[in-house]
Every structure is written in C-alpha cells, then in structure tokens.
Amino acid sequence: GVGCLRDFQVHLHVDPSVQPVAQPHRRIPFSMRKPLEEELKRLQSLDITERAEGPTPWVSPIVAVLKPHDPEHIRVCADMRCANEAIQRERDVTPTVDDVLVALNGSVIFSKLDLKDRYHQLELGASSRVITTFSTHAGLFRYKRLNFRINSAAEVFQDTIQQVLANIPNVLNVSDDILVYGKTEREHDEALRATLECLLASGLTLNDRKCKFYQKELTFFGHMFSSKGVQPDPAKASAVLGASPPTSASEVKSLLGLVTYCGRFIPYLAHLTQPLRKLIAKGVDWFWTDEQQNPLEELKRKLSEATALTYFDPQKDVTLTVDAAPHGLGAILTQTSGSETRVVAYESRALSPAEARYSQIEREMLAVVWGIEHFHIYLYGTTFLLLTDHKPLVSILSNLRSLPSARLECLALRIQQYTSEVQHTCGPSNPSDYLSRHLVNSLRKSLGAWSLSLKNM
C-alpha cells in the first residue's frame, strides 16, 4: 500500500480573489474507459481519492495516459491549470548540487531510498480537497492526498520530508529520493538505521524495487557520486555522446539544454558551444557545417574524458583561476591538499556584444568579478587564492582605492566584501587561459602542468 505521514495535513493556500472554474468534461476514448475505471477503483482503495458529492465550484478535466512501462494500465492526470492559478506557491528551497557536494565530502559508502508514490503520502486537509475535483465518465472525484498536478506539490513535499529527517545526520533528500552516506560503514549504518526507523514511525513507505543499499557509487540528483567525487549521470552523458547532428534549431536547443546540465564537468563550455548557439539566434536560416560538427565532436570527446570533480572541503585551501578571452570568460575552482590540486568545478559564459567591446583589462576584471560572484557560496567568508594571467590586474586589485577607469571602479566595488590573495600566473600555466583560447586538446596534460607550476611557485 501507500503510506501516509502521521499527524500531518497539507493545507493549500487558495487566493480568494480568483474566480472558481468548473471546466467542461473531456471525453475519454471507449478503449480506455475500463482501464480508467480500474485505476479509479485502485486510487479509492488506497485512500488517495474519493467521490465528490454535491455541488462543487471547481472541476478539472483529466488526461488518461497509458503508463510507458505498463501499457495495460492508465495514469490519471488531472489538468489543473485553471485551479493552479488560484493556488499560491509555497516557494520552499530545494537543495542544490553545491549543497550536496559539501555534505558528501569524505563519504565512501552510500544508500538511496525511494518513497513510494511520493506526493500521495501526504494527506490534504478537508478544505483543500475541493479544488482538486476532477471529472471522468464515471463521475466526479477529488484527491484526498497531494498530487503532482498541484503547482506547489514539489516544494511542499520537499520541505515536509526535509523536516521529517531534520534530526538525522548524514541524510538528505531531493523530493522522494533520500540519500544516506557515511565516511565509514559504521557512520553510514547508524544513519541508515535511524532513517528507516524514522520513516516507519512517521507512516511513510518505500518502494523497495528502487532502493539501493551499500553502494560505492550511486546516481542521485542527476549526478554520479562516489568516494572519488562527482561525475555526470551516465544516462545523461550517454544521451549527449550518442546524439546525432541536429536537423533544426529546436533540436539544437534540446541538445544545448542537455549539455548545459553537464556543464560543470566540461572546461570552457560557453566557448565550445558558441558555433551551436549561432543557430538558435532569431532570424538565422538553418545550416549545419564543419563549423558546428567539429565543436560537437570535441564536446563529446571532452565529456567522455571527464574525470570526477572533487567534493568541496571548507577546511582546505581554495584557488579561483580566471581568464577572459575575446568572446568569453572562464573560471576554475580548485582545492589543494598537500601536493595534489583537484578541480571542484568549471564554469564559463559568453560575453555580450557590449562586454566584447571592453578593453582587455576591463574584460579581465569582469572575469574576476563574475568568477567570484558565481562561486560566492564557496568563497564568501574565506581567504582564497585568486590567479590571473593579466599582470596589471594584480596591482589594481591590491590597491582598489586608485582605479584608472569608472568601469573598473564599479566592478571593483562588487567584490570588496571578499578576501583574496591575488597572484599572477603566466598564460601557459593558467588553465582558464588555456581552456578559453585553445579549447583544451588534453585536459589531464594541462591540469598536470598547472599543478606542477603551483608546486614551484
């Protein structure tokens, strides 16, 4: 069965100024009616829905969808677009990949738990059920549990499960996925036992087919985590590696969206994808030449060679290396432990037409400011090493009271609250420079040379 969180109800916040809408019934194909009736009976037996009795101001139509892995069964999807205009969002915060990278530092063993039928494990308060009413050929029904068509469902569910698990160390959740981790097997086991006991006491149930225990590497939140660090989700990486050349601008957009998800693992992605982004500009006729094919192949190669990025450790020294090229900015966040330097994240972005007209020193200062602000969550409140290959910038950043132009002064004001030690590094030993100008022929070779130069500084 489907669990239900004990002693808890979700109360939707409905804007009273929005006029209720009872939408017309959407006819169901005859071939789908019997499977739909079976699904409606199943939902009622699990106490997820109930029949709606009497007048109701809100009615939504449904879309009956065949389950992709079980075509003999139907998924009921209430079309709540009108109702969602009245439901006010909760705006609770979901953890980011950066949060996970800090939490998992030093972990070597992992387990992942999956909450069965996620949103359906939270009961709706009686006053919040009316707005979920939906129509079928078999009559009107309404939800007694939270459902995924409610616009605030994801944030309500995330915050609720987060509060349930709040007192257990070495545990975090993203929606219905719960990650348990530990630096030792004992630490992991204690967290796993406490989590399972908490879920049992709370009335929540798991989907045992999707749970994984005692893993050395594990996919979570769209990434592969292990004791070595974090890598792209193999499924997403495979989708990029197996991508055929796009045949339209919309296919290019889809490809770029997928590639951007893997962006923190690919050095200077913005420069690499520039020929592809040309194709999605307004008014550009479709074409595909070697100018686009070669970057696509290079992108695939870099993704296939991507090594694990390290977890961020607040106790280790942090280095930010930045560089500006004529059409883009690059930044690399690294941490050094003893003689080993490892990458935490790559980041890049293209310059706007106005920024591309900046003088070289202004572009270099822009790279510094953008790099620091982008990695704010890692750098604020610490003293970090800032490396740039633009020597005049070292003296400027060391004396912000006397700046040669108004633009430099405005940029400098944005980073006054950060504490850094600025050092000059020669172009060939600056990996951001190498990435931005030459698209990196060998990532390992460049990083190895840069690490060696750091040792000799």
Note whether residue 243 is domain-resident: yes
Distance CA 39, CA 73 (A): 7
Q: Quick one: pLDDT at residue 431?
A: 56
In 10 A of CB 7, how many CB atoms?
Answer: 7
Note whether residue 260 is domain-resident: yes
Note whether residue 172 is domain-resident: yes
Same domain for 270 and 192: no
Q: Per-residue confidence at 438, pLDDT binned at 50, 70, 90?
A: very low
Name the amino acid, one letter, at 206: L
Per-residue pLDDT for 382 more than 50?
Answer: yes
Two tokens at 264? 């923190």
> Do 372 and 326 contact (CB within 8 A), yes or no?
no
Burial class (CB in 10 A: 0-12, 13-18, 19+), 425: buried
408-417: long-range contacts (C-beta < 8 A, 24 or more apart)? 408/361, 408/362, 408/365, 411/362, 411/365, 411/366, 411/368, 411/369, 412/365, 412/369, 414/369, 414/373, 415/368, 415/369, 415/372, 415/373, 417/380
pLDDT (tens digit per residue) in 2-41: 999 999 999 999 999 999 999 999 999 998 999 999 999 9
Q: Quick one: pLDDT at residue 409?
A: 87
Per-residue pLDDT for 267 more than 80?
Answer: yes
Same domain for 257 and 387: no
Note whether residue 323 is domain-resident: yes
Same domain for 191 and 274: no
Per-residue pLDDT for 190 more than 70?
Answer: yes
Same domain for 286 and 255: yes
Q: Say if strands 419-424 and 383-388 run parallel, antiparallel, or are unpaired.
A: parallel
Same domain for 327 and 261: no
Domain span at residue 436? Answer: 317-455
Q: What is the CATH number of the domain that holds 72?
A: 3.30.70.270
**Sign of the CA dihedral running 391, 394, 400, 401:** negative
Two tokens at 91? 């705006």
- From the list 443, 446, 422, 447, the residue with the least C-alpha distance to 364 is 422
Per-residue pLDDT for 250 more than 80?
Answer: yes
> Which residues, including other chains, have CB under 8 Å from residue 385's CB and lie 6 or more apart?
317, 318, 319, 320, 420, 421, 423
Note whether residue 448 is domain-resident: yes
- From the list 269, 294, 431, 280, the residue with the least C-alpha distance to 350 is 269
- From the list 372, 398, 388, the residue with the least C-alpha distance to 429 is 388
Note whether residue 149 is domain-resident: yes
Q: What is the CATH number of the domain that holds 392?
A: 3.30.420.10
Beta strands in 260-382 (DSSP E): 317-325, 328-337, 340-350
Among 275, 305, 335, which residue terminates a domain?
305
pTM for the predicted model, two decimal places: 0.84
Same domain for 323 and 297: no
Average pLDDT in the chain: 89
Q: What is the CATH number of the domain that holds 290?
A: 3.30.70
Q: Per-residue confidence at 435, pLDDT binned at 50, 70, 90?
A: very low
Burial class (CB in 10 A: 0-12, 13-18, 19+), 343: buried
Distance CA 343, CA 328 (A): 20
- Any idea which residue has 């931005």 for tokens? 436
In the chain, % of residues over pLDDT 90 = 70
* Domain total of the chain: 3
Burial class (CB in 10 A: 0-12, 13-18, 19+), 220: buried
Name the amino acid, one letter, at 72: E
Q: Per-residue confidence at 281, pLDDT binned at 50, 70, 90?
A: confident
Q: Quick one: pLDDT at residue 433?
A: 54
pLDDT (tens digit per residue) in 64-112: 888 777 767 788 999 999 999 999 998 888 899 999 999 999 999 999 9
Q: What are phi and psi of 374, to 5 degrees?
A: -65, -40
Distance CA 76, CA 145 (A): 14
Same domain for 323 and 301: no
Angle at 390 between CA 389 and CA 394, to 5 degrees: 105
439-448: long-range contacts (C-beta < 8 A, 24 or more apart)? 439/268, 439/271, 439/272, 439/298, 440/267, 440/268, 440/302, 443/267, 443/302, 443/305, 443/306, 443/307, 444/305, 444/307, 447/341, 447/343
Two tokens at 190? 């204690």
Distance CA 185, CA 285 (A): 58
pLDDT (tens digit per residue) in 306-356: 889 999 999 999 999 999 988 889 999 999 887 889 999 999 998 999 999
Per-residue pLDDT for 454 more than 70?
Answer: no
Among 258, 273, 305, which residue terminates a domain?
305
Distance CA 382, CA 380 (A): 6
Residue 304: left (phi > 0), alpha (psi -120 to 50), or beta? alpha
Note whether residue 223 is domain-resident: no
pLDDT (tens digit per residue) in 99-149: 999 999 999 999 999 999 999 999 999 999 999 999 999 999 999 999 999
Q: In the sheet that 217-220 helps form, which strands lie side by side, from edge to edge?
A: 217-220, 223-226, 229-232
Same domain for 52 and 79: yes
Among 184, 215, 246, which residue terminates a domain?
215
Distance CA 106, CA 102 (A): 9
Same domain for 301 and 323: no
Same domain for 447 and 345: yes
Same domain for 341 and 293: no
Q: Quick one: pLDDT at residue 430?
A: 58
> Do 164 and 60 contact (CB within 8 A), yes or no?
no
Note whether residue 229 is domain-resident: no
Per-residue pLDDT for 442 more than 60?
Answer: no
Distance CA 65, CA 71 (A): 9
Same domain for 203 and 87: yes
